[in-house]
Structure 1
Amino acid sequence: MSLATIDRVRPSTARRLAPVEPAPESTPPTEAPAHIRAVPGGTEARGFVLYVGVDELKAAAAGTDLGSIVEALRALTKQLVPTSETYAAVALAPQGAGGRDVEVVRLALQDPSALAKHRQQPEEEKPRGGVVVDLSRKRVVLDDETAALTYKEFELLQYLVLREGRTIDRAELISSLWSAGDDDAPNERTIDVHVRRLRSKLGSYEDIVRTVRGVGYRFDRHADVAIRHTSTPSPDLF
């Protein structure tokens, strides 16, 4: 299902060379009917959507409210076409969300062209969702996208998160996260490779895992980092 736009054809503004007297029996010219653009073949117009961008505060400042505006528009529609049917939906957005009211409404109500425009915005213009380290589900979410961490990479991050603010040396990471007989057990030199892979998957948030030169690694919480703890204490915290 798609949307089309309505365009009212305006009368021609071409200058006439000389005034022409209308014939007595002629009827007065009428305005050209509205023309609906971008209607694919085999389809018909069954209604329209009118996006109204106005929040409750603006409506109150004008001496009205959203419910009254909706009822007035419904009454006008019934007056013009008594058999018409109407349906109203209120667009909700987080408090303090920026942008033009009408654009917020279009996005909230899934307008196709507004969604396409939003997806085409440069990455730096899109709001960042931050980092969520979900210990209960064993996952990391970066800007609303789940990071492709391996099990061992998540364990490494979790170990640092649960000891927030404390610098963990390489030997402790190895002895706590790998068994002595593990084929892939790193040494104090190759543990840096594992940390580097983890940080690369954190993307622009890689600095939450801080390198303390000559000592080891530390988890630093930022304002855009959220930790979701498990309901019971983690078994690796002792």
Structure 2
Amino acid sequence: MTITALPARTALHRQLGRPSLAQPRTSGSSALKPLPAASAPSPTAAPHAAVRAVPEGTEARGFVLYVGLGEDAAAEDRVELARLVTELRALTSKLAPSAQTHAAVALAPAGAGGRDVDVVRRALGDPAVQQPAAETDPGIVIDLTRKRVAIGDEIAPLTYREFELLQHIVLREGSTVGRCDIIDALWDADADDRPNERTIDVHVRRLRAKLGAYAEIIRTVRGAGYRFDGHADVTVLASGPSPDRF
């Protein structure tokens, strides 16, 4: 009978990670030799230099964490903004008990485009984000010299008579101009197309329609006529003597 117990036991110990009985035993002075110690770092090695995140002469006093999370995205994540804020503040207090926290919710018009985090940064005045230029009213320019009216980049399609009517009222800023005065100033006494007072109202209505958003610069004075009052959005250009007929 062949004896195979020793090899089988050796294989078993190899599987269990135990020392095998078949391994040679260390004897003599080599058994007392200490194991080599782990190499220690060289005393001449330079330590890592501290990195400052702020310019010299300043000190860090805290940080801002912008969180972009719209209401729809929060609903998909099944989390409420209030709960998220509460847990973040609690975590901060746990890690840094001396920290002071302040939370602010950024609001934006419904349907506003762009990434949520960018909207938050703009709303909270992040100086690193370029603020969109505010839309300014281009205003209206009444050029009496060139006989034209510019509304922004567009030229209002006024007829010659409509411009004369506008000019006559504008040149008398702050004064009420009666309908009869307009007729006498803009039409000859024997003109075939000389209108009546009701027709003047029609001319003014057509003029206002072409002035668009600035239609109300020609105000109606009930029972008296019309008046123009100066406004910051209205610029009147004129050079030389008045082009009006007095």
For this structure pair, what is the TM-score category when the shorter chain's length is used for normalisation? 0.3 to 0.5
Task: Compare CA radii of gyration and give the structure with the larger one.
Answer: 2
TM-score (normalised: structure 1):
0.45
TM-score (normalised: structure 2):
0.44
